[in-house]
Amino acid sequence: MTGNSMTTLLLTRPRAQSLAFGEDCRAAGFAGEIVISPILEIRPVPMTARPPKGAMLVFTSVNGVEQAAAQCDLNGFEGFAVGDRTAGVARAHGMTCHSAGGDLRDLVALLQAEQPRGPLWHLRGAHRAGDLGALLGDHGAGVQDVVVYDQAALPLTDRAQALLAQGGRVIVPLFSPRSAALVSEAAQGATAHLLPIAISAAAAACWAAPGQCRVVEKPDAASMLQGIVGTA
Q: Would you state the pLDDT for residue 210?
A: 84
Query: Within this chain, do residues 115 and 179 fall inside the same structural domain, yes or no?
Result: no
Q: What is the pLDDT of residues 122-168, one digit of tens each?
A: 999 999 878 898 889 876 667 999 999 999 999 999 999 999 999 89
Q: Is residue 42 over pLDDT 60?
A: yes
pLDDT reported for residue 129: 78
Mark whether 192 and 161 lie in a shared domain: yes
- Of the pLDDT bands very low, low, confident and very high (cuts 50, 70, 90), residue 5 is low
Q: Can you list the alpha helix ranges (DSSP code H) found in the chain?
A: 15-27, 62-69, 84-92, 104-114, 132-136, 158-164, 177-186, 201-204, 221-231
Helix axis angle, 221-231 to 15-27, nearest 10° = 60
100 SS3 class: coil
What CATH number is attached to the domain comprising 118? 3.40.50.10090
- Taking 3-state DSSP, the helix, strand and coil percentages for the chain, each rounded to the nearest 5, stand at 35, 25, 40
The per-residue pLDDT for range 58-102, each reduced to its tens digit, is: 999 999 999 999 999 999 999 999 999 999 999 999 999 999 998
- Residue 6 has what pLDDT? 82
Domain final position from 151, 174, 208: 151
* 14 plus 65 within the same structural domain: no
Q: Tell me how far apart the alpha carbons of residues 159 and 216 are, in angstroms, rounded to a whole number.
A: 27
pLDDT at 112: 92
**Cβ–Cβ under 8 Å, residues 82 and 103:** yes
In this structure, the answer to whether residues 144 and 46 fall within a common structural domain is yes
Expressed as residue numbers, the domain containing 212 is: 7-39+155-231
H-only helix segments in 41-103: 62-69, 84-92
Predicted pLDDT of residue 50: 94
Q: Cα–Cα distance between 192 and 201 in angstroms, integer?
A: 23
82 part of a folded domain: yes
Q: What is the DSSP annotation of 143-161?
A: -EEEEEEEEEE-PPPHHHH
Q: Look at residue 2 in the predicted model and tell me its pLDDT.
A: 41
160-202 pLDDT tens trace:
999 999 989 999 999 999 999 999 999 999 999 999 999 999 8
* Residue where one domain finishes, among candidates 127, 151, 175: 151
